[in-house]
Amino acid sequence: MIKEKHRNFMDLTVSKRKDLYIKLKNEIRKEKETKGANFLSHSVLTGKNQWLDIYFLSAKKDVFYNVTIETVKAAWHEYVDSMVLDRALKINPRYNQEIYNEKLKEFLAEDDFKIRESVSKCMDYAYGVGLHVAINVENLTVENINKFIEDFIRNGEKEYQSEEEYSFDFNHDSSFYINEIA
């Protein structure tokens, strides 16, 4: 069996990218008519989502974005959780809640980690141009995602990092990260 080599989206022919763009455009058109969304997501928007995977169209007619969008609070929690888990697993390769809690206390005592609103691109996605986005909103809604998309396109579809920094209290609640799949 011949294994096909991974191809980045931007390495596809212009006509192939346009075909994919048109298919996505038609799916987004349905979302716009039914939900007012300028994007497509396979998750259910509850108005309490902290992160979502979405797709939206670029101003360029053969490019679209494959996006993980989250609140800055979710990005902050994700970073802290990842750092603490990494430290705990170095002590004991099997997850141990006591060690995790100890490392969490140490981490939060020694590090006043701050995060910023940001947009970063990832050009090695096979389906669309990857974007990792953190925005300063309480929860993700159709309205504030649409606003992000409009602002991103109006500002030339550039990577971005805000000057303002944010920090939060850590709440290790696994339901914080759960999204329903449509």
Q: What angle, rounded to 10 degrees, do the helices at 97-110 and 72-91 form?
A: 120
| Residue 180 scores a pLDDT above 70 | no
| Residue 174 scores a pLDDT above 60 | no
Bridge partners, residue 129, by sequence: 65
The first and second tokens of residue 138, run together, are: 């309480």
Give the predicted TM-score (pTM) of the model: 0.84
% of the chain surpassing 90 pLDDT: 58
The single residue listed with the structure tokens 């980690």 is 113
Determine the Cα–Cα distance for residues 102 and 10; give it in Å rounded to an integer.
Answer: 45
Q: Are 25 and 57 in contact (CB under 8 A)?
A: yes
User: Dmax of the chain from CA atoms?
Assistant: 55
pLDDT band at 178, cuts 50/70/90? very low
Determine the Cα–Cα distance for residues 7 and 12; give it in Å rounded to an integer.
Answer: 7
